[in-house]
Structure 1
Amino acid sequence: MSNNAKIIVGIAAAAAVGAAIGLIFAPEKGSDLRKIVKKNANNWADELLSMVQERGNQAKALVEDAESRAKSWKNKAKDEFEQIADNTVSTVKSAQRDVAGA
Structure 2
Amino acid sequence: MNGNKAFWGIVTAAAVGAIIGLLFAPEEGNKTRKKIKKKTNSLASDLIEALEKSKEKATDVAGQIKEEGEEFKDAAWDKAEEYSDDAKTEINKYQ
TM-score (normalizing by structure 1): 0.84
User: Displacement of 1:45 after TM fit?
Assistant: 0.6
Give a deviation string over 1:13-55, Cα, whole Å, max 9, x none.
Answer: 1111111111121122111111111010001011111111111
What's the CA shift string for 1:37-83, capped at 9, x where partnerless?
A: 10100010111111111111111111111111111111111111111
1:86-97 to structure 2, matched below 5 A, reads 86-96=85-95
- Gaps spanning 5+ residues in structure 1: where? 97-102
Structure index of larger Rg: 1
What is the count of residue pairs matched by the alignment? Answer: 95
Report deviation, 1:94: 2.8
Counterpart of 2:63 in structure 1 is: 64
Percentage identity across paired residues of the two chains: 34
Distance in 2 (CA, whole Å) between partners of 1:44 and 1:35 is: 14
- The one-letter code matched in structure 2 to 1:82 is E
Q: Alpha carbon RMSD of aligned pairs, Å? A: 1.3
Q: Provide the rounded CA distance (Å) in 1 between the counterparts of 2:82 and 2:44.
A: 57
Gaps of 5+ in 2: none
Equivalent position amino acid for 1:91 in 2 = E
Greater RCO (Cα-Cα under 8 Å, separation 6 or more) = 2
Superposition misfits of 4+ residues, deviation over 4 angstroms:
none
Aligned counterpart, 1:3:
2
Map of 1:85 onto structure 2 = 84
